[in-house]
Structure 1
């Protein structure tokens, strides 16, 4: 049991270290030697857990996807409205990108041009999740009349992705205040009923214009 726990901790450490190296150096330049050094283990220990760099990258993506999906579904089940769920999930997603190297690397690995199997990964999942939630919001009468759910979802996904890209040179793009202000702009346009307009992140009062 002790050996199993130690092996599990080593594996988690390697995944986090790989995420940090992938984000810092990019997939093509990142080396297994750099990752093992970052984790404080030998190359042999790394190869015991992961057969290749690609296998390690997929594990980082899986760990990031698991964290993001749990976060998003938690928001979906805890808010009073679907639009409020979307506000909360978007703000928490940006916070996760800012604070969790595994989530940050998971998004970047999905569209890294040096990976043959990069197919959008987490961004593809996020796009589908937002589209599904906005479509349900329309069915529930939460969207304003004349608002296209496809256009609304596209604007939300593009904004989220844009914040992630811009954060590579200015981390303030991932701040809670910035996310709150963009939603203060979008929500009055999207909401079908003024008295049901969602609040800011996690129900807090929306920032004034």
Structure 2
């Protein structure tokens, strides 16, 4: 079991950095300090190793999703907790980032990492909309898609920072930043709805407004 765990850790690191096609079994063996014979004993082929890694990442994600769903709060607050939990997982668990990358690169498999958190999030946002917690014009599907884009951004940013040379720059809390972006998304940045334009607004601007 220790050997299997070491192989999964090494594979996650290599796949997170180089992708599925860029990661060979030889590279995994070297990173883990384990012989090829020991690797093939546990994983006869590269796709079996990737399958196991995707399953591990999916299970870890489902665990934090279930915790968020169990929070005694409104659907909208649980949706926020779910999104931030997934972001923190990407930030702290290499195997989850590897699973997310594998899901994008191995399109011929049924292991869809986003399927472990996106459908529950959509359900929560639909509940929030039905209960009047979202504006009638705020389509739950659009908010769900926006959340998927935000999580993809966190995934990309965290991966880049994880494998970039250490420049001494201050560490950015991606999950904390996402919390601020999420709140801005839900509650808006405008102080008031824009007023309808008039013929005067559309006319030629004077010297003051031109600046």
Please classify the TM superposition score into its range, dividing by the shorter chain length. Answer: 0.7 to 0.9
| TM-score normalised to structure 1 length | 0.77
Write out aligned runs for 1:38-187 (5 A).
Answer: 38-112=31-105, 115=106, 117-118=108-109, 121-170=112-161, 175-187=174-186
Check the 8 A contact 2:65/2:117 in 1, yes or no: no
**Structure with the largest fraction of helix:** 1
Any stretches of 5+ residues in structure 2 without a counterpart?
163-170, 189-211
Moved over 3 A (4+): 166-174
Instruction: Give 1:120 shift.
Output: 7.2
Check the 8 A contact 1:97/1:174 in 2, yes or no: no
Cα separation, 2, equivalents of 1:98 and 1:187: 23
Greater gyration radius: 2
Per the alignment, residue 197 of structure 1 pairs with: none
Instruction: Give 1:61 shift.
Output: 0.5
Instruction: Give 1:164 shift.
Output: 1.9
Check the 8 A contact 2:91/2:175 in 1, yes or no: no
Count of paired positions: 180
Cα separation, 1, equivalents of 2:38 and 2:111: 30
| TM-score normalised to structure 2 length | 0.76
**Alignment RMSD, CA only?**
2.1
